[in-house]
Structure 1
Amino acid sequence: MKMIAGSVLFRTAAPVAMVALIACGDGATEPEMDMLTLQESEALLEAVQRIGLTELEDDVPVPNVDITRACSGGGEATAVGTVLPSGTEEMATVTVDLTLVPRDCMETARGLSFMLNGAPSLREMGTISISVPDEFTFVLDLDLSFFGTLAYGLDGRIGTCDISVRVVSRVDLAALAQTGTATGTLCGNTVDMDLSGPVTPQG
């Protein structure tokens, strides 16, 4: 099945869900070297979300999913679970419940290249809906939860990051604006972030 506006999901859902992560990393032999700055952490989550959204970008067998896709810089990631489409003429929705397992997956975000592996995995659950309330409005609604543990490598540093975040957001693609929140815990930190602001589509 051709997923609903796959490229739109990749280019607009990723920036919404990416902004939630706060500095993370533990478990390496040199903890000081292991810690990520805020900018590095946000880039890590952006790389992670690229993996999850890429799994939904092209033809996906539904409802049962067991697919493996190449990562942009090498390695691969497997998604196993369910993707359930539904909707009306006014709104199309996919309900996702996927377990993501990257294996030596290289992804670059904000100029930083991460090697990602499941430790053991990341789970993505929730809904993505696209609606057209009127002729000039195109709206993307997200209610997604991400939880699990991933291992990362960056510039000779290694670490693991526990992720448990819920992202609830609305993106107005005509106005290139979003509202919403990201709440939960990331690498032991409590997160309660306002996601309101402009959206810059990825090229």
Structure 2
Amino acid sequence: MNFRSFYLSVLLGLAAILTGCSSDGVPRIFTNEYGAVTDAGYKLPSVPVDKIPSKYHRQVVSYKTDEKPGTIIVDTKEKFLYLVMEGGKAMRYGIGVGRQGFEWSGTARVAMKREWPTWTPPAEMIKRQPELAKWRGGMPPGLSNPLGARALYLFNKNGDTGYRLHGTPEWHSIGKAMSSGCIRLLNQDIIDLYDRVKVGAKVIVQ
């Protein structure tokens, strides 16, 4: 292979990665889908993906599991959320998880889905951060709302777990343990996940 052919093959390979295209079944990465988005009248800014490790960019990966398609599996150690797909694949998203003392694990289900949700800080959070008391009745939706553009509400046999899968404007928290227990995704990713997940979907946090 001469240099020109090699250079062309490299460019084509990079284009395939950036557009999420792949013809041979290898992982597809959607790095080009983190641009500015207007959604329900809100203008989400672009995400500086060059500052986020590429492993945390949304991508289709090979994934072996006995769980059925549509199941969400959260790997809190590796900071990945997997949405199980057909054919031994999964859509993988980078996430932020609970900081030390706020970790949790277990099985739940998506009981509700909300676009641009209201955020109501729990009483124990207000006790730790009294300045949040002003939002006791709920913080309106918006770009600064901690739940971001979407939220999936997790319930188990005992009812509302209090935990959510939600968006965040804090892109720098992806891949880290910084939250109060909820699983956070980039706003562009939670919009994508929201559209793929059905109410009632099984969620495994491990």
Could you state the TM-score of these two structures normalised by the residue count of structure 1?
A: 0.25
Q: Which has the higher contact order (CA 8 A, sep 6+)?
A: 2
| Higher share of residues assigned helix | 2
| Higher share of residues assigned strand | 1
Could you state the TM-score of these two structures normalised by the residue count of structure 2?
A: 0.25
